[in-house]
Structure 1
Amino acid sequence: MERGVGEGQGEESGGAVGELRRSWQSWAEGHGEYQRRNPFSSEGGLPGRPALAPRGDPAYGRPPEGSRTEQRGKDAHSHVGREVEELCLVIRSTGRRGDDGRVSVTFGQLFETYVTISNKVVGILLRARKHGLVRFEGEMLWQGKDDDVVITLLE
């Protein structure tokens, strides 16, 4: 018995249409799985992962406890803490002790000294001020413009 064109070449026997259908189905299943794991999709969230904390909860905006993201954050916090300590040592070694007994240095002098150690001196200074370790005038310090601003070590 002869087959006509298109007969027996559908989904069941692996013809071009059947292959296309299987390929599409495979992609759709894979994409569905991707969407279930994608925290930004409407189906978002990882299976087995706790739901995100609601606003107002102390855990809101924080990575899940014990996660690699939490560990990376702790490592970064520790690294910045060491850089702040190093900045204080540089101020102590390059600055001059004033009448009040505190060590001070100008931003220009600190920048010239510290730039060889780190190109993040302004960010580290802001962090040190946030923690009450240094004092200086202004919101942000700019090389050239703020070279005469005095930075005082408070510890």
Structure 2
Amino acid sequence: MNVSHEVNLLLEEIQRLGNKNADGQTTVKFGVLFNDDRCANIFEALVGTLRAAKRKKFIAFEGELLLQGVHDDVDIILLQE
């Protein structure tokens, strides 16, 4: 698995599904990303890809691990566009 490629695909999907916040950054709710059909087909391990992107400081979100249902309203913020 090519992690860099997966992270780049994730960043594209966040841009596609997200909206600009007051600071001009693109944000998307975890639930929107998780429940999107296109994302479901692209990412076998969405949570792992999110963690990798966070470690590389491409995105930010609260907490270490996001779980479907519990964290659906958590904002994922794109740090670099």
TM-score normalised according to structure 1 size: 0.49
What's the counterpart of residue 79 of structure 2? 154
* 1:85 has 2:8 as partner: yes
Q: Which amino acid aligns with 1:94?
A: L
* 1:138 has 2:63 as partner: yes
What's the counterpart of residue 106 of structure 1? 29
Q: Secondary structure at the match of 1:104?
A: strand
Q: Which of the pair has the greater relative contact order for Cα pairs under 8 Å at 6+ separation?
A: 2
Mapped to 2, the partners of 1:119 and 1:83 lie a distance apart of 10
Which 4+ residue blocks in structure 1 deviate beyond 2 angstroms? none
Q: Which amino acid aligns with 1:93?
A: R
TM-score normalised according to structure 2 size: 0.91
Q: Which amino acid aligns with 2:33?
A: L
Q: Which runs of 5+ in 2 are unaligned?
A: none
Q: Percent identity?
A: 40
Q: Secondary structure at the match of 2:41?
A: coil
Structure whose alpha-carbon radius of gyration is higher: 1
Q: How many residues align?
A: 78
Deviation at 1:119, TM superposition (A): 2.5
Deviation at 1:142, TM superposition (A): 0.4
Greater strand proportion: 2
Mapped to 1, the partners of 2:70 and 2:77 lie a distance apart of 18
Q: Which runs of 5+ in 1 are unaligned?
A: 1-75
